Chain A
């Protein structure tokens, strides 16, 4: 109830209504998303989780406006995106969405500052404003002294910080991170997650697509997907994987998750109820 009241005060950034995405492989139709309903709110800190093939990547692509749903309705910042053309979607991606990728996707021949500036080339800002913002954002992610370094002179964690800075530089409504710690060791992963925590505290909305429980431990809300549908959508404290350990950092979260999934029938029902309540 308290959650719902809080939701009423906050504005939804993202609203998915009955979103379906169908891929045609030969004559077969694959439902990558099958009637997904989802709302994401201001200052959201959520993880989308699920096994491979569960549709979480497709969901990410749809939310990131990289892909259009086959049917359904997607509203970003109270704006319908389903009717938008390619150019308008590009503008939306530029201004509202920040992407962080598993393999960083930095341009090797540009230094950190130039990499961060890159999305601004496609925005309306002038050269000076760009430089200033890129610098500010790099400072925010703690790379003030690495601006002139090229990606091959940076460590994995630093590369990901640059990538995060690049995602933040356009001041997006939402930060979409696709397995942001997938290519990093556990220690660096923790540092990156700490950065996400910090950004969340500063008011940034963040969605992380991941299958690592150690990542999910940081978020406030966990959306679990299965077969193109939302399987459960709960605050982290109520998620079956974390129910027993409300405090930080379960050492072997993955193992515990497996244990819990055996008797999680009840929680599915809870998830559905939750979705229905939100709809109402």
Chain B
């Protein structure tokens, strides 16, 4: 057993001895070592910061996507870029609820449809308290099946609520607190504009995403689709979901075809609406992210190359400075492999220190980026794999650029080396 352990133990000992020696050597040449590792530090810091920024942006977008679901399709009116309708009034191209009637029956790949009635912002009151500018949206029951925003208290809005045009609503928890309703606010009455609504449930808030809203608090109330018409003439849009994520494009095409017919758009005329999915938006983002990553990778590669050459240079200096030491070590029985390991590990340790400091600077940069106001990077963080990659790169640079000096050291003839100076 002990005999079996001998070889790995001997190797381990050589390893930690080398690390110890390397640290000692680096410590004695502090200034030189710091200057040498700057290249690596910059390389690693920039790679981690870029990855952190991209990850933050992606996380941000993904959390949004998650609340919508990946096979969600958004349907909304829009002015075409060409044709006579280019300057049409928004009102003339708005959706009417009958445009969407029968969509589910005619589009086999679409599993759900939820018409949305946006009735704008209203003042919501409860007793003495009032909150201005609350977004009121009329939704159908299928909303709860398309969006993954769970109702955390009470019940969802049902088909019957919609059929009977009930005066019921879902509110978000922050609004509940702002209105000083009870924590269990089911059955309590709030007033939206002139009308009274009974609260039936509390719906989870959407993760904060302040594109263009400048950090102002944002509250939501959901009422049944048909009830919204009683409040005012709504702006209609729709959410749809394809049966599966894989048939998303087919579903979109079917919806487009169907809507062109119901909205009486003639052949050759441009669409007056959009049918979009988050997937396509995400793909666009991924493409951009890839390009950015590659450009950043190129820059990082160059700085690591420069850093690596610095490491090689300093290791060559170190080898020629310590020629006598190498000769001595060989004379007292160091094998070629031991000398090689010693110098290689010194280079790698140097690079690892650079990598470590680089990650520190990368973290500082990331924190700085995350705190730039109005830039959607507040979720930027360095993922673990980026740290692993940074160390991996730093280590590889050490091995790659340390190899030549180490081989040079290992090949020295002990007699010549001892005579050196």
Contacts and interface: CB of A to CB of B under 8 A. Distances in A.
- Do A and B bind? yes
Interface of A: 61, 64, 66-67, 86-87, 90-95, 99, 101, 105, 107, 109-110, 118-119, 121-124, 126-127, 166, 170
A105 B14 CA distance: 22
Contacts of B338: 121-122
Contacts, number: 65
A110 B21 CA distance: 10
B331 A124 contact: no
A118 B331 contact: no
A101 B334 contact: no
A101 B332 contact: no
B335 interface: yes
A155 to B, nearest CB: 20
Given A64-B331, A91-B333, A121 B28 contact: no
Given A105-B324, A109-B24, A121-B17, A66 B333 contact: no
Given A61-B415, A90-B333, 20 more contacts: A66-B414, A86-B336, A90-B330, A90-B334, A90-B335, A99-B332, A101-B328, A101-B418, A105-B324, A105-B327, A105-B328, A107-B325, A107-B328, A109-B24, A118-B332, A122-B338, A124-B6, A126-B13, A166-B332, A170-B333
Contacts of B415: 61, 66-67
B325 A121 contact: no
The B interface is mostly helix, strand or loop, or mixed, namely: helix
A94 B332 contact: yes
Contact of B333 (A110, A123, A127): A123
A163 to B, nearest CB: 10
Contacts of B17: 121
B332 A122 contact: yes
A87 B328 contact: no
A158 B325 CA distance: 19
Interface in B20-53: 24-25, 28
Contact of A95 (B6, B28, B325, B333): B333
Interface residues of B, number: 25
Contacts of A90: 330, 333-336
Contacts of A66: 330-331, 414-415
A122 B333 contact: yes
19 contacts: A61-B415, A66-B330, A90-B333, A90-B336, A91-B333, A92-B333, A93-B331, A94-B332, A99-B332, A101-B328, A105-B324, A119-B332, A121-B17, A121-B334, A122-B333, A122-B335, A122-B338, A126-B13, A170-B333
B10 interface: yes
A105 B333 contact: no
Contacts of B330: 66, 90, 93
Contacts of B14: 121
A105 B418 CA distance: 9
Contact of A94 (B28, B333, B337): B333
Interface in B314-336: 324-325, 327-336
A87 B335 contact: yes
Q: 9 shortest A-B CB distances, which residue pairs?
A: A94-B333, A119-B332, A90-B335, A93-B333, A122-B333, A105-B328, A122-B334, A87-B335, A121-B17
Contact of A124 (B10, B24, B335, B337): B10
Nearest to A88: B335
A93 B10 CA distance: 18
B407 to A, nearest CB: 14
A159 to B, nearest CB: 13
Given A109-B24, A124-B6, A124-B10, A119 B333 contact: yes
Contacts of B334: 90, 94, 121-122
A95 B25 CA distance: 27
B414 to A, nearest CB: 5
A118 B6 CA distance: 20
B334 to A, nearest CB: 5
Contacts of B418: 101, 105
Nearest to A87: B335
A183 to B, nearest CB: 14
A162 to B, nearest CB: 13
Nearest to B9: A126
Contacts of B25: 109
A179 B329 CA distance: 19
Contacts of B325: 107
Max chain B C-beta neighbours (<10 A), residue from A87, A92, A93: A93
Interface string B63-96: 0000000000000000000000000000000000
Nearest to A57: B415
A94 B324 CA distance: 17
B28 A109 contact: yes
A200 B337 CA distance: 34
Interface string B408-421: 00000011001000
Interface in B336-367: 336-338
B332 A87 contact: no
